[in-house]
Amino acid sequence: MKILAIESSCDETAAAVVEDGTKVLSNVINTQIELHKTFGGVVPEVASRKHIENISDVVDKALSDCGMTINDVDAIAVTYGPGLVGALLVGVSTAKGLSFMAEKPLIPVHHIKGHICANYIEHPDFKPPFVCLVASGGHSHIVYVKDYFTYEVLAKTNDDAAGEAFDKVSRVLGLGYPGGPAIQKCAKDGNPEAIKFPRVNMGEDGFDFSFSGVKTAVINYIHNAEQKGIEINKADVAASFQEAVTDVLSRHLIECAEKYGVKNLALAGGVAANKALRERVEMLAAKKGMTFVCPSMSLCTDNAAMIGCAAYYEYRNGAIADMSLNAVANLQLG
């Protein structure tokens, strides 16, 4: 089954053709990062406009890259939430138009399920059940994937998402947008033990996250130093912040897996591209005798191949939308 998938939930206009869930025939990503850098973060209105400008070319390229036309695909899939509503609407409207015109089924996909399913693409032997940490610019969840169709959220953030904290701290350190890669680069020369930033455990089991405290602690640290005329060591601040976030994310993931008796772990979402986090989870998983996978860097951040993969399982589970499909900015998982 060949699926044309479309993703436009944030600042990447993306389209891909994926066969039977895991064979990526084409994968086109038009990123707006350079544009949003000027503003230090994603400006929703600007993102929507750029999606409108780019979407037709991106879809055409995804089809032509694998020598296909719209008539050669079996279904059209699209991210319909969560995300920026104006941005999502561009993808949803395009997918609806193509589905109607070419008379192909329309498959609605949850963005987070897409991130999780990215793990199936490069790891054919990796199967549910597993516990997955999904950390991106908008979400920080630990999800129990019981089978290909059943997702249970075990933990979430009570305030900022992990990626959001990376982006804000990077901005205050003057390292630019997006924050994750900038902090990772700067942290390479720093000491992760230099400053002890707070680690917060929330919720009944202490599995939930809170990243607004660590973000504020870093901002206060920088402002205090400025007021006293002390020059900060940016690399140490970046490394210590990255260590605080990595410590909490990896520890909660392992604790959740232990509590639910699951031996397989996965990472997903933009923050999963973080080298320190990948290495930490790999190390802890090995210690506990758990298996661990994560997508390659390019499949961690937003792309449409992951949507095409998730759509294959959604379709098998009977998820088909009609022309009333709408974008849902705060779409919940589960």
Task: Name the binder of 180 from Zn ion, ligand KG4, none, CB < 5-8 A by kind.
Answer: ligand KG4
Tell me the window of 20-28, 64-72, 256-264, 270-278 that interacts with ligand KG4 (CB under 6 A): 270-278
Tell me the window of 25-33, 163-171, 231-239, 257-265 that interacts with ligand KG4 (CB under 6 A): 163-171
> Nearest distance from residue 177's CB to ligand KG4, in Å?
8
Determine which residue in the list 99, 136, 246, 250 makes contact with Zn ion, applying CB under 5 A: 136
Determine which residue in the list 163, 190, 213, 308 makes contact with ligand KG4, applying CB under 6 A: 163
Restricting to residues 31-90, which ones interact with ligand KG4 according to CB under 6 A?
none
Taking residue 127's Cβ as centre, other Cβ atoms within 10 Å add up to: 13
> What is the C-alpha separation between 294 and 188, in angstroms, rounded?
21
Q: Are 129 and 264 in contact (CB under 8 A)?
A: yes
Determine which residue in the list 26, 54, 99, 136 makes contact with ligand KG4, applying CB under 6 A: 136
What the block records as the tokens of 246 is 């990595």
Q: Are 26 and 14 in contact (CB under 8 A)?
A: no
Q: Are 134 and 140 in contact (CB under 8 A)?
A: yes
Determine which residue in the list 178, 190, 295, 308 makes contact with ligand KG4, applying CB under 6 A: 178
Task: Name the binder of 181 from ligand KG4, Zn ion, none, CB < 5-8 A by kind.
Answer: ligand KG4
Determine which residue in the list 181, 213, 295, 308 makes contact with ligand KG4, applying CB under 6 A: 181
Q: Is residue 7 involved in binding Zn ion (CB under 5 A)?
A: no
Query: Which one, 136 or 210, has the nearer CB to ligand KG4?
Result: 136
Task: Name the binder of 274 from ligand KG4, Zn ion, none, CB < 5-8 A by kind.
Answer: ligand KG4
Residue 19: phi and psi, rounded to 5, are -105, 130
Strands, E assignment, the chain = 2-7, 12-19, 23-31, 75-81, 106-110, 130-135, 140-147, 150-156, 264-268, 291-293
Q: Are 278 and 267 in contact (CB under 8 A)?
A: yes
Tell me the window of 58-66, 94-102, 199-207, 266-274 that interacts with ligand KG4 (CB under 6 A): 266-274
What the block records as the tokens of 249 is 């994310």
> Nearest distance from residue 324's CB to ligand KG4, in Å?
25
CB within 8 Å of 155: residues ≥ 6 apart: 141, 142, 203, 205, 207, 208, 209, 252, 256
**Taking the CA atoms of the chain, what radius of gyration do you get in angstroms?**
20
Taking residue 146's Cβ as centre, other Cβ atoms within 10 Å add up to: 14
How many residues at the interface with ligand KG4, by CB under 6 A?
A: 19
Q: Is residue 91 involved in binding ligand KG4 (CB under 6 A)?
A: no
Q: Is residue 269 involved in binding ligand KG4 (CB under 6 A)?
A: yes
Determine which residue in the list 142, 145, 254, 271 makes contact with ligand KG4, applying CB under 6 A: 271
Q: What is the DSSP letter of 134?
A: E
The one-letter amino acid code at 34 reads: E
Q: Is residue 119 involved in binding ligand KG4 (CB under 6 A)?
A: no
Residues of the shown chain interacting with Zn ion in the complex, contacts defined by CB under 5 A: 136, 302
**Which residues are near ligand KG4 by CB under 6 A?**
10, 136-138, 163, 166-167, 178-181, 184, 269-271, 273-274, 301-302
